[in-house]
Amino acid sequence: MTALLTATGLHKRFGGVIATNDVSISIAPLEIKCIIGANGAGKSTLFNILCGALAPDSGSVTFDGQSLLGLPLHKFARTGIARKFQMPSVFNSLTVAQNLETACRGKVSDLPRRVDAMLDRIRQSNLRHDLAGNLAHGHKQWLEIGMALMSAPKLLLLDEPTAGMTVEETQKTADLIKELARETAVMAIEHDMGFVRALGCHTYVMHQGAMIVEGTFAQIEANELVRDVYLGRA
């Protein structure tokens, strides 16, 4: 299977701190992958490089055969990569339906139908006229995932999508994401092992800026090194 997104040899330092050290990852179409690691492992730096907010000191990021480095934010968004940041970031002064409309850029003939379909999918049909600013935390997160999907992306990047969610909401989010993977690849950066377990996907483990292990979730859970640095005894 040819890769959709490939990042190779990413290095990034902040002063004396090495945030990412020779990190390479890739994801194929319609695949789900997770990146886990403790706080300060370099996950956020990696995410910011992948979504164009940060330029690496060296290394390359290609998507669909096109280099992503140095693209301005709005052009980046048109490549077919959608991102969802950690903190919910919806348009508080617009309604739920308007948020989804705005997320769908350009001329679209069947916009109302697509908005309806997405509302149904993120289970917010009953909230369509509510202002996004008044939504509960979990609903904001799902709305934002819905917004990311309105552009029919090839790849969805998620930064800690379940931060601040209850166990039940986390489970619902995992179900939603598995459903999404029929149409788009998903790369999630996560802290919460429960969520990664629920997804049960191919997983990378980061530690002190480096990618130390990768494999299926079962392999990761069984890995001694991972147990040492992350899961248990650290």
* Cα separation values, 28 from 19, 57, 62, 69, 198, Å: 25, 25, 12, 19, 20
Give how many residues touch another protein by CB under 8 A: 22
* Footprint of another protein on 125-154 (CB under 8 A): 147, 151
What's the closest the beta carbon of residue 234 comes to another protein, in angstroms?
31
Q: Which is nearer to another protein, 91 or 231 (CB)?
A: 91
Closest by CA position to 4, among listed 26, 25, 24: 26
Shorter beta-carbon distance to another protein: residue 38 or 108? 108
66-67 and 58-63 beta bridge pairing = antiparallel
Strands (E), the chain: 5-14, 17-27, 32-37, 58-63, 66-67, 81-84, 155-159, 185-190, 202-207, 210-215
77 binds another protein, rule: CB under 8 A:
yes
Among 156, 154, 194, 151, which residue's Cα sits nearest to residue 172? 194
Nearer to another protein, 147 or 211 (CB): 147
Q: Does residue number 93 form part of the binding site for another protein (CB under 8 A)?
A: yes
Query: In the range 176-215, which residues lie near another protein by CB under 8 A?
Result: none
Q: Which of residues 112 and 194 has its CB atom nearest to another protein in the complex?
A: 112
Q: Is 7 left (phi over 0), alpha (psi -120 to 50) or beta?
A: beta
Q: Are 23 and 191 in contact (CB under 8 A)?
A: no
86 binds another protein per the rule CB under 8 A: no
Measured from the CB atom, the residue of 91 and 200 that comes closer to another protein is 91
Round to whole Å and give the CA distance between 27 and 46.
14
* 101 binds another protein per the rule CB under 8 A: yes
- Comparing C-alpha atoms, which of 205, 204, 208, 154 is closest to residue 181? 154
**Contact flag: residue 74 with another protein (CB under 8 A):** yes
Q: Which of 12, 43, 83, 139 binds another protein (CB under 8 A)?
A: 83
SS3 53: coil
To the nearest whole angstrom, how small is the minimum distance from the Cβ of residue 102 to another protein?
5
113 binds another protein (CB under 8 A): no
Which residues form the interface with another protein (CB under 8 A)? 73-75, 77-78, 83, 85, 89-94, 98-99, 101-103, 105, 111, 147, 151
